[in-house]
Chains A and B, each alone.
Chain A
């Protein structure tokens, strides 16, 4: 029996064994949905011989994965939480990587009349005042954090009668908003991926409050000596290199540029 158990454990161990220690990157559903990594990561893997395992969560969960040492590097979009993550000693070498923006979308007939408002806070106030349906991520993601921040700025407590907190990823939330003829806030990447399948329209965009910066942070190896710190740093180095940044700049979704690189200042 003991022998059997031993053989079994060896077997389990061997199946988990990969030649190169993989770099585990926790990222957000918004970047994963955009397909950016599908284009970028193969170049990195070919040049460095590393293997990258991409896990996509909401920003809050991605940071928690880093905090628990379950991943080697995180790529997220919630600056305040990132600072807290680094200050608490969970992460190191935070580099800003790129940005895009959020947009407020809603039904094409726009019952709250926010089209052309282009002010995020005022748009939300209009939606709330008219008690128009609004779908919220409710999953502690970067987009959700941004939305809560905007509600706070709008000085409005969402009410159950018109505010639907669904706890799902961005794609699902857009589908639900589409079915419910509701408003929601989304990152531009997921919007571009999904928009052809939706009857929603972009109603407010371009406000400085809708700025959406992404950073990449290595998990602190002092806390978890066995994590792949070298791999994490080489991924950070590549993504913030001239080549990595150019590839981010040249990435197109539905023919449109999506991310503007920020790591290298000219």
Chain B
């Protein structure tokens, strides 16, 4: 068996000397997850806003529901989507199973609760008077909403980045509804699972390093903007 150090050295070589297969997997991973988060963000944040400003019974219940969805296992989402998308399932005719679109949809389902729950927390921090002032001055609703979003932009950004972190690192959905097809639906996490099963630890660790350095950057960025926020307010 290879020593750990040797494996890591091999992994770094793969990364540095531009193993095209490896980098195309990384690219695919980011493209799918970016699509998912970008498509979900408007809906998630609007719902969060609606929950905060709306005035109807059951809001607490809905919030609790989304909070509990924060920790739903990704394989459960994958299984749920698989049953819907299989050819004999209710949406079988769309032919979405084992496509990138299926992965995008699954990841959208996964990050939606994150955006709602964390978005809600962020919007809560906004001063209620912003809404009242803006409305009194005659601004239309959409403009007021955007103003509030701008007020709490750092909190919302944190919500979006957390959602992105959740989808880029999930493996259950991608494996189940993506199918790990080489060059088409194989992303970082499913590739790691595959390479590990073949005993190709270097390739797996190389991809793991990409994810790790990404999450490090994300965390660093988050704490940076949070420190900036303190300066502004």
Contact = CB atoms under 8 A, between A and B. Distances in A.
Interface in B97-126: 97-102, 104-105
A197 B98 contact: no
Contact of A33 (B94, B196, B198): B198
Given A15-B101, A16-B101, A197 B86 contact: no
Contacts of A13: 94, 101
Contact of B93 (A15, A29, A226): A226
A12 interface: yes
A174 B199 CA distance: 9
Contacts of A174: 199
Contacts of A171: 197-199
Contact of B181 (A53, A175, A194): A53
Nearest to A29: B197
Given A55-B179, A224-B87, A16 B99 contact: yes
B212 interface: no
A145 to B, nearest CB: 20
Given A69-B87, A70-B86, A70-B87, A55 B98 contact: yes
Interface string A48-79: 00000111100000000000111100000000
Given A8-B39, A12-B104, A172-B197, A197 B97 contact: no
Nearest to B93: A226
Given A69-B88, A193-B198, A12 B105 contact: yes
Contacts of B179: 53, 55
A8 to B, nearest CB: 7
Given A54-B182, A171-B197, A226-B95, A197 B1 contact: yes
B35 interface: yes
Nearest to B95: A226
Contacts of B2: 197
B198 A15 contact: no
B214 to A, nearest CB: 23
- Size category of the B interface is 20 to 34
B199 A54 contact: no
Most A CB atoms within 10 A — which of B1, B94, B98, B102? B98
B92 A69 contact: yes
B97 A70 contact: yes
Contact of B87 (A11, A12, A68, A194): A68
A29 B87 CA distance: 23
Interface string B58-91: 0000000000000000000000000000111000
A35 B150 CA distance: 52
B197 A169 contact: yes
Interface string B149-186: 00000000000000000000000000000011110100
A55 B181 contact: yes
B51 interface: no
B70 to A, nearest CB: 24
A29 B96 CA distance: 23
A38 B179 CA distance: 17
Given A68-B86, A169-B197, A171-B198, A54 B181 contact: yes
A224 B92 CA distance: 11
A70 B98 contact: yes
A164 interface: no
A234 to B, nearest CB: 19
B87 to A, nearest CB: 4
27 contacts: A11-B39, A12-B96, A12-B101, A12-B105, A13-B101, A15-B100, A15-B101, A16-B95, A16-B96, A16-B100, A22-B184, A24-B98, A33-B198, A53-B179, A53-B181, A55-B180, A56-B180, A68-B86, A68-B88, A70-B86, A70-B98, A171-B197, A172-B196, A175-B199, A193-B199, A197-B2, A224-B87
Please list the 6 inter-chain residue pairs (A to B) with the smallest Cβ-Cβ separation, ordered nearest first: A69-B87, A16-B101, A171-B197, A16-B99, A55-B179, A53-B181
Given A12-B101, A29-B197, 12 more contacts: A12-B105, A13-B94, A15-B104, A16-B96, A16-B100, A24-B98, A53-B181, A55-B181, A69-B92, A70-B86, A70-B97, A193-B198
Interface of A: 8, 11-13, 15-16, 22, 24, 29, 33, 38, 53-56, 68-71, 168-169, 171-172, 174-175, 193-194, 197-198, 224, 226
